[in-house]
């Protein structure tokens, strides 16, 4: 098994947004505000304990070791057989509409089974998901590490497009990969004492830039616990929204 991961080098990122634009084009992300699988946010100029910082936060889904979006998904579990695109090996798992693919570690969404309730969107402490309400039936969406591309032996669109080689993608289990070497060389996970769910996007950069990144974007709220407590209501809300959008009559009991 493997865990695909990404390292983002803040020393190299120039804030050009090529990654976000490539992602939007590749996956036909709606152009309306609030819809994005990938983003770039400017940070600073701001004084940090390490000095003045001005840098960027290029973000995406972290494909966490313990993804809370999987935990809160209210879709009924089903058995699914997965196949490793490199070895041909298979594995049977019981999964919800959101699940962690066993051979790559990518967190994916089964759009056929997603009920559009938005529980995963509200639960993600990284705000890496959105509910696509431009569809006839709203569905959750997010970065997939370009799973379809990597299954063909390619690299994610954002990595291919980056003009500064600021994004490095690969398998953490492959000791010869750049990702493995950077992570074991000290790349940081964007997490806090409160939120530690094992993000598989790592960061390298100057101490002052990392300080600014962690100050503003390391999650400090366990948002999924609130969602988990109200998961039945969220499920009903999603079904109601979908029904209203389609003009379906709803029987009140």
Q: How far apart are CA 146 and CA 50, in angstroms?
A: 35
Rounded distance, CA 124 to CA 103, Å?
22
List the chain domain ranges: 4-246
Kindly provide the residue ranges of all beta strands, DSSP E only, lying in the chain, ordered along the sequence: 4-9, 38-48, 51-60, 78-83, 90-95, 98-100, 107-109, 129-132, 139-142, 167-171, 188-189, 201-204
Lookup: tokens for 229: 């407590």
How is domain 4-246 classified at the CATH fold level? Alpha-Beta Plaits (3.30.70)
Distance CA 171, CA 240 (A): 41
User: Cα torsion at 83, 19, 224, 243 (round to 10°)?
Assistant: -80
Report pTM. Answer: 0.91
**Length of the chain (residues):** 253
Using the CB atoms, write b or e for 133-149: b if 16+ within 10 Å: beeebbbbbbbbbbbeb
One digit per residue, pLDDT tens: the chain, 253 residues? 799 999 999 999 999 999 999 999 999 999 999 999 999 999 999 999 999 999 999 999 999 999 999 999 999 999 999 999 999 999 999 999 999 999 999 999 999 999 999 999 999 999 999 999 999 999 999 999 999 999 999 999 999 999 999 999 999 999 999 999 999 999 999 999 999 999 999 999 999 999 999 999 999 999 999 998 776 666 555 555 555 554 444 343 3
């Amino acid at each position: 098994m493997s865990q695909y991961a990404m390292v983002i080098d803040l020393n190299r990122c120039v804030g050009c947004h090529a990654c976000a634009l490539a992602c939007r084009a590749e996956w036909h992300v709606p152009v309306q505000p609030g819809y994005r699988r990938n983003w770039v946010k400017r940070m600073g100029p701001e004084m940090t304990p390490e000095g003045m910082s001005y840098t960027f936060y290029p973000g995406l889904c972290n494909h966490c070791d313990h993804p809370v979006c999987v935990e809160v998904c209210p879709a009924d579990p089903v058995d699914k057989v997965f196949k490793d695109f490199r070895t041909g090996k298979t594995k049977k798992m019981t999964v919800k509409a959101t699940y962690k693919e066993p051979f790559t570690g990518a967190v994916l969404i089964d759009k056929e089974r997603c009920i559009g309730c938005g529980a995963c969107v509200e639960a993600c402490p990284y705000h890496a998901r959105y509910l696509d309400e431009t569809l006839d039936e709203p569905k959750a969406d997010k970065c997939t590490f370009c799973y379809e591309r990597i299954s063909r032996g390619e690299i994610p669109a954002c990595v291919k497009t980056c003009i500064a080689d600021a994004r490095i993608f690969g398998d953490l289990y492959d000791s010869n990969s750049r990702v493995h070497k950077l992570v074991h060389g000290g790349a940081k996970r964007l997490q806090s004492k409160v939120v530690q769910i094992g993000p598989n996007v790592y960061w390298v950069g100057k101490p002052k830039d990392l300080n600014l990144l962690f100050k503003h974007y390391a999650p400090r709220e366990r948002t999924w616990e609130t969602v988990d407590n109200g998961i039945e209501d969220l499920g009903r809300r999603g079904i109601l929204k979908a029904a209203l959008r389609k003009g379906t009559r709803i029987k009140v009991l």
